[in-house]
Chains A and B, each alone.
Chain A
Amino acid sequence: AQKVTQAQTEISVVEKEDVTLDCVYETRDTTYYLFWYKQPPSGELVFLIRRNSFDEQNEISGRYSWNFQKSTSSFNFTITASQVVDSAVYFCALSERVGNEKLTFGTGTRLTIIP
């Protein structure tokens, strides 16, 4: 069975600080995909990144970066120089097997950026 754990329920940081959101996953499959989504107060889930299990390269996109480590089954997300607009709930999600699009989500981390 697949499982995603986001142990940090809520995080608050002062604007311009860096913050890392943790994600740990469990799966028996060798082929799987990991995702991060952002859910602002409006409710819509906004796709941020997809990573497949064969690509352990870290990725940077502007102020966002992702650290994928299969050895520890983790896929952590870092926001550099945080801004108030980053305030949202962030979800990590996992899907197994190509063609099976079921996403298993973690419980989310509520991030609050204090001006």
Chain B
Amino acid sequence: DAGVTQSPTHLIKTRGQQVTLRCSPISGHKSVSWYQQVLGQGPQFIFQYYEKEERGRGNFPDRFSARQFPNYSSELNVNALLLGDSALYLCASSLISTGSNQPQHFGDGTRLSIL
């Protein structure tokens, strides 16, 4: 079975531009989460979506937005890019079950560089 797939793998943008990152979850997984990982640090939670609704939002500015589609894939959008947005963006998917938090499975990430 295919794991979590993210596209593109690498992206170079300039300050002020906008970017869209894409994620396809593992088949059967209905929850998708996004994380930002700056070099040398642990991933930071950005969003969680389940059944097309936002379930959680981390401490990120409104320039960051996301959505989930009926097939459970997801997009992360970042507007007005800043140099500090340069990072590895990770998507994770999981099964949602009542009574427990299932492990999140991560994709290879999109490495975003802002010039």
Give the nearest-CB partner of B45 in chain A.
Answer: A102
Q: Is B56 a contact of A44 with CB atoms below 8 Å?
A: no
Complex-state Cα separation, A37 to B92, whole angstroms: 12
**Complex contacts, A99 vs chain B, CB 8 Å:** 55, 96, 98, 101
Q: Shortest Cβ distance from B83 into chain A, in angstroms?
A: 21
**Complex contacts, B111 vs chain A, CB 8 Å:** 43
Query: Of A45, A101, A107, which one neighbours B94 at CB under 8 angstroms?
Result: A101
Q: Would A107 and B41 be within 8 Å (CB), given that A101-B56, A102-B48, A102-B58 are in contact?
A: yes
Query: How big is chain B's contact interface, by range?
Result: 20 to 34
| Residue B68 lies at the interface, judged by CB distance under 8 Å to chain A | no
Q: Is B107 a contact of A44 with CB atoms below 8 Å?
A: yes
* Size of A's binding interface in residues, CB under 8 A: 26
**Complex contacts, B101 vs chain A, CB 8 Å:** 33, 50, 52, 95, 98-101
Q: Is A103 a contact of B88 with CB atoms below 8 Å?
A: no
Residues on B facing A (Cβ under 8 Å): 31, 33, 35, 40-45, 48, 55-56, 58, 88, 90, 92, 94, 96, 98-109, 111
Give 13 A-B contacts (CB < 8 Å), ordered by A residue: A33-B100, A33-B101, A35-B103, A42-B108, A43-B109, A43-B111, A44-B107, A45-B43, A47-B104, A100-B55, A102-B56, A103-B35, A107-B42
